[in-house]
């Protein structure tokens, strides 16, 4: 049984929904500038949520969610990356929080979701320690401005995916050295956010929000098991061990050593690492990952070009493979609801903190019928199976406090535009044609409404 206080919600991010890319003083982020396939939708208009937030929030009120996860765009709040705050943006988000409050919806706010101000990227972005100071100034501004309206904060969306799938998410590739400089700066920046939030918003809670997927070994061969341990360390535990325990995961440390990396640790960081701690874990989950030890002669280029698939390779450590026991969705992502239960149990055993599942969902082609309906039974099945896994984990004693599937409305997918839809609410636009941008609840919307009413799936 889920607690009656279980936080039923849904998720969005700013750059994938808002549009208004050049309005009200917003500056470009790395998401606006990165080279995209011109055939697919970009973020200039996205789903026009910046102008339609009232309509969207009213619709979500009818869904009876208790929480909406949104992100705040750094480029709107502090357009120069550092320095002056943009009052137009501050006023806008006060209006957004008021509209949510009117519908009885708690905001859960991600401070930063892949959209670093381009102006900071031009100066080296996360490879520079200066960006940590800029981020700290930015989040202190958020906590001061919105501290009385927001009770759940999330720090940095999926730093692990951002770094491991950099080419796809950011539009450029870090060198190995730069990637782990950026890793360290992101993790220290997050610590600064934990500390600032606890100082400035004593009633609020804050947590990290990595993408956590348990990594399976391809076989019982001890080399494959070790490959899975390495990739678990590099993909999952390096991030959560740093956030929650304030330590560098030992196997990750060993991996860094073998690959010639020294993290740029400053002496004063140690105390911060161990004292600035999260109140909960926010966790995004789409799939599990399976790896084996890469045998000689099967060399490929090092890299993790898509975090969600078997396209993972690092010579001497791990190589992704197709898990023959699992099916795939239309976009080639492996579907593994049982893996969510396992992942939750492992995260619980390692960290003993409340968990919110802050993203989970199915990217699919949806069809709007002539009578304006969307019969997305495949999405209902996906969500039903994953929710059932959450309930089973809770029955095993895991402290899952909320579920905020991706996504509340259709939005522009990170690298596949509008055709790959995740929403509970359909948005009428295509890649190139903005059409009416009208919103239509899908069958999954009505299904989720009932789930919330009954406090779970049977
Ligand atoms: C997560 C991101 C989201 C979202 C989701 C689906 O990694 O936090 O922003 O996009 O993945 O990914 P995609 O849009 O590539 O299908």
264-298 pLDDT per residue, tens = 999 999 999 999 999 999 999 999 999 999 986 55
- What is the pLDDT at residue 298? 55
pLDDT digits (tens, 9 = 90+) for 113-141: 999 999 999 999 999 999 999 999 999 99
Q: Residue 49 Cα, ligand 1 centroid: separation in angstroms?
A: 18
- Give the E-state strand segments of 173-231 in sequence order: 205-209, 215-217
**3-state SS assignment for residue 68:** strand
Higher-scoring residue by pLDDT: 81, 311: 81
Q: Residue 404 Cα, ligand 1 centroid: separation in angstroms?
A: 14
Measured from the CB, is residue 82 less than 6 Å from ligand 1? no
Which of ligand 1's atoms lies nearest the C-alpha of 414? Answer: 14
Q: Residue 21 Cα, ligand 1 centroid: separation in angstroms?
A: 19
pLDDT digits (tens, 9 = 90+) for 192-250: 999 999 999 999 999 999 999 999 999 999 999 999 999 999 999 999 999 999 999 99
Q: For the CA atoms of 273, 112, 407, 236, what is the dihedral angle to 10 degrees?
A: -30
Q: For all residues of the chain together, what is the average pLDDT?
A: 95
Catalytic residues: 158, 359
Measured from the CB, is residue 157 less than 6 Å from ligand 1? yes
Spell out a b/e string for 67-84, using b for 16 or more CB atoms within 10 Å of the CB, else e. Answer: bbbbbbbbbbbbbebbee
Which of ligand 1's atoms lies nearest the C-alpha of 16? Answer: 9
Q: Residue 282 Cα, ligand 1 centroid: separation in angstroms?
A: 15
Measured from the CB, is residue 358 less than 6 Å from ligand 1? no
Measured from the CB, is residue 414 less than 6 Å from ligand 1? yes
Number of neighbours of residue 232 by Cβ within 10 angstroms: 24
Residue ranges of domains in the chain, CATH in brackets? 7-215+232-253+264-287+328-454 (3.20.20.80)
Measured from the CB, is residue 406 less than 6 Å from ligand 1? yes
Report the relative pairing of strands 7-11 and 400-403 from DSSP bridges: parallel
- What is the pLDDT at residue 14? 98
38's CB contacts (< 8 A; 6+ apart) are none
Contact status, residue 41 vs residue 412, Cβ threshold 8 Å? yes
- What is the pLDDT at residue 280? 98
End-to-end CA distance of the chain: 10
Task: Record the tokens describing residue 20, joined without a space.
Answer: 């208004």
Q: Residue 213 Cα, ligand 1 centroid: separation in angstroms?
A: 14
In this model, does residue 189 exceed pLDDT 60?
Answer: yes
- Distance, C-alpha 2 to centroid of its chain: 24
Measured from the CB, is residue 161 less than 6 Å from ligand 1? yes
- What is the pLDDT at residue 243? 98
Q: Residue 286 Cα, ligand 1 centroid: separation in angstroms?
A: 9
Give the closest residue (by CA) to ligand 1 atom 3. 414
Which of ligand 1's atoms lies nearest the C-alpha of 333? Answer: 16
Instruction: Kindly state the average pLDDT of the residues 325-333.
Output: 92
Measured from the CB, is residue 420 less than 6 Å from ligand 1? yes
Residues in the chain: 458
Measured from the CB, is residue 308 less than 6 Å from ligand 1? no
Give the closest residue (by CA) to ligand 1 atom 16. 413
Q: Residue 203 Cα, ligand 1 centroid: separation in angstroms?
A: 30
- What is the pLDDT at residue 311? 79
Measured from the CB, is residue 168 less than 6 Å from ligand 1? no
- What is the pLDDT at residue 303? 56
Task: Record the tokens describing residue 32, joined without a space.
Answer: 């606006």
Dist. CA 220–CA 194, nearest whole Å: 40
- What is the pLDDT at residue 343? 98
Dist. CA 304–CA 374, nearest whole Å: 34
Which pairs with CB-CB distance under 8 Å and at least 24 residues apart come from 168-175? 168/305, 168/306, 168/414, 168/415, 169/114, 169/414, 169/415, 170/30, 170/34, 170/114, 171/30, 171/33, 171/34, 171/35, 171/36, 172/34, 173/303, 174/127
Which of ligand 1's atoms lies nearest the C-alpha of 168? Answer: 15
Give the closest residue (by CA) to ligand 1 atom 11. 414
Q: Residue 413 Cα, ligand 1 centroid: separation in angstroms?
A: 6
Measured from the CB, is residue 359 less than 6 Å from ligand 1? yes
Which of ligand 1's atoms lies nearest the C-alpha of 363? Answer: 16
In this model, does residue 307 exceed pLDDT 70?
Answer: no
Measured from the CB, is residue 363 less than 6 Å from ligand 1? yes
């Amino acid at each position: 049984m889920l607690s009656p206080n279980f936080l039923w919600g849904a998720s969005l991010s700013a750059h994938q929904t808002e549009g208004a890319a050049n309005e009200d003083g917003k500056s470009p982020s790395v998401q606006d500038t990165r080279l995209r396939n011109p055939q697919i939708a970009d973020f200039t208009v996205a789903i026009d949520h910046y102008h339609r937030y009232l309509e969207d929030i009213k619709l979500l009120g009818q869904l009876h969610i208790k929480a909406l996860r949104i992100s705040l765009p750094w480029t709107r709040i502090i357009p120069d990356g550092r320095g002056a705050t943009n009052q137009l943006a501050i006023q806008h988000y006060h209006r957004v929080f008021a509209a949510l409050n009117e519908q009885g919806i708690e905001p859960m706010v991600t401070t930063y979701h892949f959209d670093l101000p381009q102006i900071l990227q031009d100066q080296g972005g996360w490879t520079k320690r200066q960006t940590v100071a800029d981020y700290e100034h930015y989040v202190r501004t958020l906590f001061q401005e919105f501290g009385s309206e927001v009770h759940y904060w999330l720090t940095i969306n999926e730093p692990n995916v951002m770094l491991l799938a950099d080419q796809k998410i950011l539009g450029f590739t870090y060198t190995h050295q730069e990637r782990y400089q950026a890793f360290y700066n992101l993790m220290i920046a997050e610590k600064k956010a934990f500390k600032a939030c606890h100082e400035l918003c004593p009633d609020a809670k804050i947590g990290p929000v990595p993408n956590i997927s348990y990594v399976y070994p391809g076989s019982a061969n001890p080399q494959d098991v070790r490959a899975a341990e390495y990739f678990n360390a590099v993909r999952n535990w390096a991030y959560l061990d740093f956030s929650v325990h304030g330590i560098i995961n030992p196997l990750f440390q060993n991996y860094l050593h073998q690959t010639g990396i020294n993290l740029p640790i400053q002496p004063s960081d140690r105390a911060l690492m161990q004292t600035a701690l999260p109140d909960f874990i926010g966790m995004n989950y789409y799939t599990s990952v399976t790896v084996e030890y890469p045998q000689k002669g099967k060399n490929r280029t090092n890299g993790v070009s898509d975090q969600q698939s078997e396209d993972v390779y690092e010579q001497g450590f791990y190589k992704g493979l197709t898990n023959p026991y699992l099916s795939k969705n239309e976009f080639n992502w492996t579907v593994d609801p049982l893996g969510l239960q396992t992942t939750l149990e492992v995260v619980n055993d390692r960290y003993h903190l409340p968990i919110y599942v802050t993203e989970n969902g199915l990217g699919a082609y949806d069809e709007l019928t002539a009578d304006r309906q969307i019969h997305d039974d495949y999405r209902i099945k996906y969500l039903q199976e994953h929710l059932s896994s959450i309930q089973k984990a809770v029955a095993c004693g895991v402290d899952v406090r909320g579920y905020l599937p991706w996504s509340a409305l259709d939005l522009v997918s990170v690298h596949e535009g509008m055709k790959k839809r995740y929403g509970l609410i359909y948005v009428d636009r295509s890649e190139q044609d903005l059409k009416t941008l009208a919103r239509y609840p899908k069958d999954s919307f009505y299904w989720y409404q009932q789930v919330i009413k009954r406090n779970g799936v049977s």
